[in-house]
Structure 1
């Protein structure tokens, strides 16, 4: 990590005033920090391509002096420093190239290309239901397959007066009382930190988003606001519009196995 980076983040983070509840406030602070980091990056690193060209010119001058046997010891040290700087810049440029390639995939990955159609064709063949077992006989007639599939799901999800959904012999397991209480207890800082440290460091919401490596490196600065956002969600159960959200569907394993067997026959 670049020297002074954490100090810069700490200074800027303390100057922000987020708006709204704790979750919205955290989102706004991250937005402000992203803008300031772009300025910091330009001031510290400048234009990498321009710096690379200048370093190559300086190395070329020293190489010419070396060819003429007039390279002094100070010039040799200078040449080694320039080569080290050149390697660092090359690594940064390679990293940017990989990021831009990933961005291009986000933008153009689903366009009308050969790769896209090959992927869709493979997925369609993999998920295709060839036929079903009807009365002990294997049938591949499209109309019969559609009718049996429709009847299967209608039977499974037909509402009843006593339960609401008919799942046959599927039985739901329940959690012990102590574990049930732990599911609604307040999150601790250790739990949240452990969850952050278990995530892949390079994962981020987008090509220019904050990844988990950044969050771990700046945890001492961010943890107070992160914990306030987590506790706010636990108390209200509300994630403001514009923040990250996920939808989780729980489907019994027995039901999935039955559907899988029908699709594989």
Structure 2
């Protein structure tokens, strides 16, 4: 069966409803429940822009559960967050854009200034990419067609003029660069770290990215009253209410703690209380993984690592300001939450 599914490009998706789809309608020790009925889809269905939902319906007129496969479009939220694309860093022009935006002056605390620069730089990179570059898949097809035409011309006449030969080499180099950027684009979405660079444009790699997108979608959730919510516009509200109330009833009890017989000596206390150095922060940044999902600001670790020479002064000032005064701009919290444990761990004795 596994070989049959593999050869016919069939994949199973997650389901909603009862786990078992068949019941032999007997009681006691003779009662049997099995999942006999399954739904499989091919790669074309996984790559569709719709969310696939498999539902196991109630058994009523049969001893089998009916299976309903729904194709739903959840793109109801008009808000679109700009996220940094790792392939932008492959263009030398992106460095000039980041440098230009980073040299501008902004008012506010160090963390506010850093966040404003992040936002402005990301917008500039986004509109630069839209204005200057074709969509990578379209560019790949155009280059392949142009290379094919030149090679056909070479075949028909026997040889090419020197200018045409250089033109062909240029097109091939541009195609290779485009394929590498496409590879990076898919790898960022698939979040796959166990595939080599050459696998990035394979059918399996693309399917993995599409399947991951399909699996990460939240179809339904129970609210605080136990009601099942499937309306996508209400699911976000359920999450917000949950985390707003999560810590309201929790208080720290400082009574009854055992006596502390062990304490840090003066040397250890001085080490912990010492200001963070630029080298400590830079060492942590350079060891961050690049293919990590961005926070609400759209900035990921790749942006920080690639453009570190431009942003390091403002970045380190915001880090030190937080440790000194405990203040942080809201939009930058997710980035710092990931960095703080990695920054502080190396200095803990």
TM-score for both structures, normalised by structure 1: 0.62
**Pair 217,93 (structure 1): closer, same or farther in 2 beyond 3 Å:** closer
Q: Give the deviation of 1:106 after TM superposition.
A: 6.2
Matched, 1:109 2:197: no
2:97·2:124 contact (CA, 8 Å) conserved in 1? no
Partner deviation per Cα, 1:209-259 (whole Å, 9 max, x = no partner): 3333432332221122112212211221222333325499xxxxxxxxxxx
Matched, 1:28 2:116: yes
Structure 2: state its 5+ residue gaps.
1-89, 192-208, 221-252, 341-349
1:62·1:71 contact (CA, 8 Å) conserved in 2? no
CA distance in 2, matches of 1:211, 1:66: 46
**Pair 56,172 (structure 1): closer, same or farther in 2 beyond 3 Å:** farther
Partner deviation per Cα, 1:52-86 (whole Å, 9 max, x = no partner): 22212211211221221343142233222212211
**Pair 46,24 (structure 1): closer, same or farther in 2 beyond 3 Å:** same
CA distance in 1, matches of 2:303, 2:266: 38
Q: Give the deviation of 1:36 after TM superposition.
A: 0.4
Q: Give the deviation of 1:37 after TM superposition.
A: 0.6
Q: Give the deviation of 1:202 after TM superposition.
A: 3.0
Structure 1: state its 5+ residue gaps.
114-158, 249-265
Q: How many residues align?
A: 198
**Pair 107,15 (structure 1): closer, same or farther in 2 beyond 3 Å:** farther
Q: How is 1:157-236 mapped onto 2 (pairs within 5 angstroms)?
A: 164-165=255-256, 173-206=262-295, 209-236=298-325
What is aligned with 1:60? 148
Greater RCO structure (CA 8 Å; 6+ sep): 1
Q: Give the deviation of 1:188 after TM superposition.
A: 1.6
2:101·2:117 contact (CA, 8 Å) conserved in 1? no
2:97·2:121 contact (CA, 8 Å) conserved in 1? no
Partner deviation per Cα, 1:157-180 (whole Å, 9 max, x = no partner): xx7xxx72456xx96743221121
Q: Give the deviation of 1:8 after TM superposition.
A: 2.2
Q: How is 1:47-196 mapped onto 2 (pairs within 5 angstroms)?
A: 47-74=135-162, 75-102=164-191, 105=212, 108-109=215-216, 111=218, 164-165=255-256, 173-196=262-285
Q: Give the deviation of 1:108 after TM superposition.
A: 4.2
What is aligned with 1:40? 128
What is aligned with 1:133? none
TM-score for both structures, normalised by structure 2: 0.49
More moved, 72-81 vs 84-93: 72-81
More moved, 221-230 vs 172-181: 172-181
